[in-house]
Structure 1
Amino acid sequence: MTVPQLLLPPKLVPVFTGEAMYRGAYGGRGSAKTRSFAKMTAVRAMMWALEGREGIVLCAREFMNSLADSSFAEVKAAIASEKWLADFFDVGETYIRTKCRRISYVFAGLRHNLDSIKSKAKILLLWVDEAEPVSDLAWTVTIPTVREEGAEIWVTWNPMRKKSATHKRFRETPPEGSKIIQLNWTDNPFFPKILNTTRLDDLKNRPDEYEWVWGGAFRTFVKGAYYSKALIEAKKRIDFVPLDPLMQVRAYFDIGGTGARADAVAIWVCQFVGQKINVLDYYEAQGQELSVHLAWLRSRGWGKAWCVLPHDGAHGDKVFATSYESAIREAGFDVFVIPNQGQGAASARIETARRLFPRVFFNKDTTEEGREALGWYHEKKSTDPERDIGLGPNHDWSSHCADAFGLMCIHYDQPDGAPPPRDRYRDRRSSSGGGSWQSA
């Protein structure tokens, strides 16, 4: 009897041996992780069918509008690559199943199909490919649907952000007994020469993204990010930044509102020391009350910070009949509100921040999340492939951080040796504060 030969990157062999409910691999391009996991889904389906079991292999991604967006092509190619697998499966234009009909593949997107996935029965294997953007809600709803005896969950992804739900769930605190490894092109003995040519070209011409694309590192910059060059040049200014006890501490807000669906609130804490902007701390939270943000300021030692708000800080909150300005003042903080900068305010913040970036010094240990967001903040482009049209800053998870950072730079920016004009910035400091803006 001929024993089938199964070619896998050697580093993956321990992942698929022995018992485990969770198996997975993360890393950069060219590692063969997707093709290997696709092939192993077929091996598992074949084993279960031979055992007489019935059920489905659910292949999911976060986004799927059609089979073209799914793992269908990968599974089909993986089965075709091994004759002994191809002989066992019935592969059509829109379906894959064992010829005995015991095991069938189902392909689904998680973002808009959570209710239908909850109702699926006899899931023997859930494989989520390109899992980086899968939300915590999707994982929370989907994982309990895998409840057959001996069923497994497989996850493959290219890392992008430390804050992603997939990273936190399967890499930062992986489930007990899981077998999840990092796999890169260097671990793939079948790495093709033509792909190596592409890799070397990226190393030479796109070094900023090389480690993310090929090395499995987190993405530091997005192509076209406003501050990518400035952050690269700022590496020597990312170190321990001490608090100057003689200078005023300032907290610059971007206001997201309250409630679970509100945008995030971002806060940069800094001091203006001579010609330097010393950034001491960064904070971001979503769906929390204002009291939580102020409690964070106090817990970090910033209880005497001057809170600087954008113009909407003087407006009533959509949920509560009060304003951030009045509420923060009532909590004992001094408050400044910068007036509406008018049309083109976002561009003004970006250009001012770019110009002042050489003066910015970041405290390394407390500003990492903020620097990550700045490296992501980028322009939104037209969806028309024939027209390279910029549509202004993309409003995503990074924009709240970037807006607060831009507010800080706008507030710093003034004629040398002169206070800002009174019609430019309004002093909203409480009467208990003492001193003036320029004395800070």
Structure 2
Amino acid sequence: MATAKIEIPEKLLPVFQGEADVRGAYGGRGSAKTRSFAKMSAVRAYMWSMAGREGIILCARQFMNSLDDSSLEEIKAAIQSEPWLNDHFEIGEKYVRTKCGRVAYKFSGLDRNIDSIKSKARILLCWVDEAEPVTEEAWTKLIPTLREEDSELWVTWNPERKTSATHKRFREAKDPRFKVVEINWRDNPRFPAKLERDRQRDQRERPDQYEHIWEGGFKTVFEGAYFAASLTAAKQQGRIGRVAADPLMTVRLFVDIGGTGAKADAFALWAVQFIGKEIRVLNYYEAVGQPLASHVAWMRQQGYEPGKAKIWLPHDGATNDKVFAVSYESALRDAGYDVTVIPNQGRGAAMFRIEAARRLFPRCWFNEEPTEPGRSALGAYHEKRDPTRQIGLGPEHDWSSHGSDAFGLMCVAYEEPSGSANFSRDLNYSPLGLA
């Protein structure tokens, strides 16, 4: 029997060996994961056609407005890179199929065409490339369409957030039939010299983006984000790590209030201590649609009890909730907390918070693991822009704005510590010494 040699990175060999329901790879640019999966899909198509099987290989992405947005060109290039493989395929401008016609590639976007995928018969293989933004709803609808006993799902992506549906399904899963690996530029034996120059340039000129682009790290800062440079500096200066609370000092809780109901804005909270001129950022909490009692329960679980912790609210914390005839301020006071409401700064309040945060960032030390979700919000908080006129329209109101607003509230409320002790105060003496 004739054999053929297929070149793929060594790190991907265990992914394609043996049986599996899911095969996948995640990582940064230049890893050859996309080209390798495209090539291996063609190998599978060839094997199935030789075995007399009929069906389709579905290539999907979350967003695909046309074939220009698909994996079509990548598949063509992968097949043409292997002369023996190229001999078994018919490649047209808008299609790829085996010459016998038994196996054909189809392309689909999951954001618009997910329901139509249900009607596609005999999906032998589904490969989802650029899978990071695929929603949980899309995965839930897509996976049951793979009805053949040995049909498989292949997934490739560049990670952005730990909260993504793709991360939770395929990186956090412990299923032995999931063969998923991390692969980056150093794992590619044919890493091009041009990409090496690009990599070094990004490492030098865009250190805030480098880990995500090249090393498969999560996207901690976004281009144009207000606090991108500040977060990068904090990491480089070692101010993100293990930070302990001082048990003798008050924990200050700074809140951006949300509301009740599934469509309410997020309730976000930062727990910090002011130790001298150092701001110790200890913890972060965020929840959507939960009652105030849930937030208070979390505070108590963390040891942020009345008497040990104080709460600062934005100006709307003094107004009544739309569902319940009570304000956050009064409810938290009833729970025993010392509460301060920060007055409305008026027009430009958002930018005032941003500038206050930028000014105080060099004093901030972040407790790494508990504050990671909050730092993700800070890293994504950015300006909304008019694409036509290319002008700024102020901060974008999205998932990142609630944690960022709470952080900004902390910076607005921050009080500069006194530079020296007050030695002019009165001293009371007793016969046995100082009272």
Would the TM-score normalized by the shorter structure come out above 0.5?
A: yes
Q: Please give the root-mean-square deviation of Cα atoms over the aligned residues, in Å.
A: 2.4
Is 1:301 aligned to residue 303 of structure 2? Answer: yes
Structure 2 equivalent of residue 323 of structure 1: 327
Structure 2 equivalent of residue 218 of structure 1: 218
Of 374, 386, 395, which residue of structure 1 is paired with 2:378? 374
Contact 2:261 2:289 in 1 (8 A): yes
CA gap of 1:327–1:107, structure 2 versus 1, over 3 A, is farther
Letter in structure 1 aligned against 2:4? P
Structure 2 equivalent of residue 334 of structure 1: 338
CA distance in 1, matches of 2:327, 2:66: 46
Structure 2 equivalent of residue 430 of structure 1: none
SS of the equivalent of 1:282 reads strand
Structure 2 equivalent of residue 89 of structure 1: 89
Is 255-264 or 30-39 further displaced after alignment?
A: 255-264
Structure 1 equivalent of residue 349 of structure 2: 345
Is 1:190 aligned to residue 190 of structure 2? Answer: yes
Shift of 1:239: 4.2
CA distance in 2, matches of 1:256, 1:141: 31
CA distance in 1, matches of 2:30, 2:92: 28
Letter in structure 2 aligned against 1:142? L
CA distance in 2, matches of 1:90, 1:75: 12
Letter in structure 1 aligned against 2:108? A
For residues 53-132 of structure 1, the aligned pairs below 5 Å read: 53-132=53-132
CA gap of 1:124–1:332, structure 2 versus 1, over 3 A, is farther
Contact 1:280 1:362 in 2 (8 A): yes
SS of the equivalent of 1:236 reads coil
SS of the equivalent of 2:295 reads helix
1:332-377 residue CA offsets vs partner (Å, 9 max, x unmatched): 4333322322211111000011112223232334222222322232
Contact 1:254 1:266 in 2 (8 A): yes
Structure 2 equivalent of residue 147 of structure 1: 147
Shift of 1:279: 1.9
Q: Which runs of 5+ in 2 are unaligned?
A: 420-435
CA distance in 1, matches of 2:231, 2:90: 53
Is 191-200 or 255-264 further displaced after alignment?
A: 255-264
CA distance in 1, matches of 2:275, 2:368: 18
CA gap of 1:106–1:315, structure 2 versus 1, over 3 A, is farther
CA gap of 1:354–1:114, structure 2 versus 1, over 3 A, is same
Shift of 1:189: 1.6
Letter in structure 1 aligned against 2:378? L
Contact 2:221 2:228 in 1 (8 A): yes
Contact 2:63 2:111 in 1 (8 A): yes
SS of the equivalent of 1:175 reads coil
SS of the equivalent of 2:171 reads helix
1:397-433 residue CA offsets vs partner (Å, 9 max, x unmatched): 322111100011111157979xxxxxxxxxxxxxxxx
Structure 1 equivalent of residue 158 of structure 2: 158
Of 390, 405, 408, which residue of structure 2 is paired with 1:406? 408
Letter in structure 2 aligned against 1:219? K
CA distance in 1, matches of 2:174, 2:71: 24
CA distance in 1, matches of 2:410, 2:35: 47
Structure 2 equivalent of residue 436 of structure 1: none
Contact 2:254 2:313 in 1 (8 A): yes
Letter in structure 2 aligned against 1:100? C
For residues 173-184 of structure 1, the aligned pairs below 5 Å read: 173-184=173-184
CA gap of 1:273–1:326, structure 2 versus 1, over 3 A, is same
Letter in structure 2 aligned against 1:269? A
Structure 2 equivalent of residue 261 of structure 1: 263
Contact 2:207 2:232 in 1 (8 A): no
CA distance in 2, matches of 1:359, 1:190: 44
1:367-395 residue CA offsets vs partner (Å, 9 max, x unmatched): 222223222322233434xx643332233
Is 1:355 aligned to residue 359 of structure 2? Answer: yes
1:172-203 residue CA offsets vs partner (Å, 9 max, x unmatched): 23432221111111111222222222222222
Shift of 1:273: 3.4
Contact 2:30 2:188 in 1 (8 A): yes
1:33-64 residue CA offsets vs partner (Å, 9 max, x unmatched): 10111111121122222222222212111211
Structure 2 equivalent of residue 50 of structure 1: 50
Shift of 1:220: 2.6
Matched-pair identity in %? 63
Shift of 1:320: 4.3
Shift of 1:32: 0.9
Is 144-153 or 130-139 further displaced after alignment?
A: 130-139
Shift of 1:317: 3.4
Q: Number of residue pairs matched?
A: 415
CA gap of 1:11–1:414, structure 2 versus 1, over 3 A, is closer
CA gap of 1:100–1:288, structure 2 versus 1, over 3 A, is farther
1:216-257 residue CA offsets vs partner (Å, 9 max, x unmatched): 222232222222222233343334444344443221111232
Structure 1 equivalent of residue 167 of structure 2: 167
Shift of 1:24: 0.9
SS of the equivalent of 2:269 reads strand
Of 373, 390, 393, which residue of structure 2 is paired with 1:391? 393
CA gap of 1:263–1:191, structure 2 versus 1, over 3 A, is same
CA distance in 2, matches of 1:117, 1:325: 51
CA distance in 2, matches of 1:113, 1:316: 43
Shift of 1:286: 2.5
SS of the equivalent of 1:220 reads coil
CA distance in 1, matches of 2:168, 2:265: 21
Q: Scaled by the length of structure 1, what TM-score is found?
A: 0.86
CA distance in 2, matches of 1:357, 1:132: 30
CA gap of 1:16–1:364, structure 2 versus 1, over 3 A, is closer
CA distance in 1, matches of 2:13, 2:243: 46
